[in-house]
Structure 1
Amino acid sequence: MPRQRTGGFHPRPTVLVAVGTDKHRFDRLIGWLDDWYAGSAARPTMVIQYGHSRPPTIPGAVPFLGHGDLQRAMATATLVVCHGGPATILEARRHGHLPIVVPRDPAHAEHVDNHQQLFARRLGAARMVALCESQAALTAALDAGLAQPRSFTVTADADVQAARLAAVARVGHIVEDLVAAAKPRRASARH
């Protein structure tokens, strides 16, 4: 069982960034992170899973992390930044993080539709994530999280919170499955 975050002292903070495994690039987020890191005095340790996106200039970047490596990174991270995927958000919260969420935007060819934006906005309104839909919001969240790590931790009643997050994750998976299933139909409808 993942441990709950206590917000304790971290000699050198670690920021985990996970963009998931979707085939779409998420260069916008990678660029925002590069800009933030270049101007940050904090210089945290960065663990960046960038998927199919362009590699960041920040040290500590890998295309993919296995499940175990991702779990270990979440367990030790000070902050977690992620895309709007339900599974990643659920895992971050299970590890006691209030995830900083930058949803993929189909207007930038980062996904096939806006389901991540809608999902993340709903969770943001419920204060279950720190929603960042602009570079300024991401920069502010990272700076605030490094200055006050406790403000980006969650403790939850394991049964109630786990059930709620499992339901949210299941809805997200259903939406992703529906989107994936609809794509071939659209392609075959053109023939």
Structure 2
Amino acid sequence: MIFVTVGTQGQFDRLIRTIDEWAGVRGRTDVFAQTGPAEYRARHIRVERFIDPSEFRRCVESASLVVAHAGMGSIITALELGKQIIVMPRRAELGEHRNDHQVASARRFAQQGRIVVALDEKELVERLDRVGSAEPAERLGGQASSHLIDTIRTFIDVEHTPVENRT
């Protein structure tokens, strides 16, 4: 199953429309989308406006692919469960969000090689068509890396050491 999610903050009809049209053309019947308050009415995919957090997690667990907006909850859950994720960020210039923090977040995760990013509908279709050849995603650990813990520990130690005692 391909699980599509737009989160709960508002509609993202551009993503849902692209997925729905792609599924129709490709004859895909295995797509389920959480659409939020969408105005677009899908014709080729199963949809639910909202699902509760436990159902969301079950959908991600059973998905072979997750397609999502660039929301941290969606990205982190997919990575935690080792699911390949294609992210299409909401864009402020299209009235989909207040600013372009989702574009910045998506690019940062993509630089790390953890997610696939599609910045527009054409790229999304191209990424979806290549899904069969993709490698399974590496699971994001449930705990912070030792490097991150050491960095935070050093920061805390320095911040709590009186200035005159710092080396």
Give the TM-score normalised by structure 2. Answer: 0.79
Conserved 8 A contact 1:106-1:114: yes
Distance 2:92 2:17 in 1: 17
Task: Look up the match of 1:48.
Answer: 33
Q: 2:144 aligns with which of 157, 163, 180?
A: 163
The structure with higher relative contact order (CA 8 Å, sep 6+) is 1
Superposed, which structure 2 residues align to 1:109-128 within 5 Å? 109-128=95-114
Identity within the alignment, %: 28
Q: Select the structure of larger CA radius of gyration.
A: 2
Whichever structure has more helix as a proportion of its residues is 1
Q: 1:26 aligns with which of 12, 20, 23?
A: 12
* Structure 2 portions without partners, runs of 5+: 149-167
Report how far residue 78 of structure 1 moved: 0.8
- List structure 1 runs of 4+ shifted beyond 3 angstroms: none
Report how far residue 59 of structure 1 moved: 3.2
Residue 45 and residue 124 in structure 1: after superposition, are their counterparts in 2 closer, same or farther (change >3 A)? same
Report how far residue 155 of structure 1 moved: 2.3
Q: Render the CA deviation track for 1:46-74: whole Å, top value 9, x for unaligned.
A: 11000012232233100011111111111
Task: Look up the match of 1:103.
Answer: 89
Count of residues in Structure 1 that have an aligned counterpart in Structure 2: 145
Q: CA RMSD, aligned part only?
A: 1.8
Conserved 8 A contact 2:3-2:66: yes
Secondary structure in 1 aligned to 2:15?
A: helix
* Structure 1 portions without partners, runs of 5+: 1-13, 168-191
Report how far residue 163 of structure 1 moved: 2.3
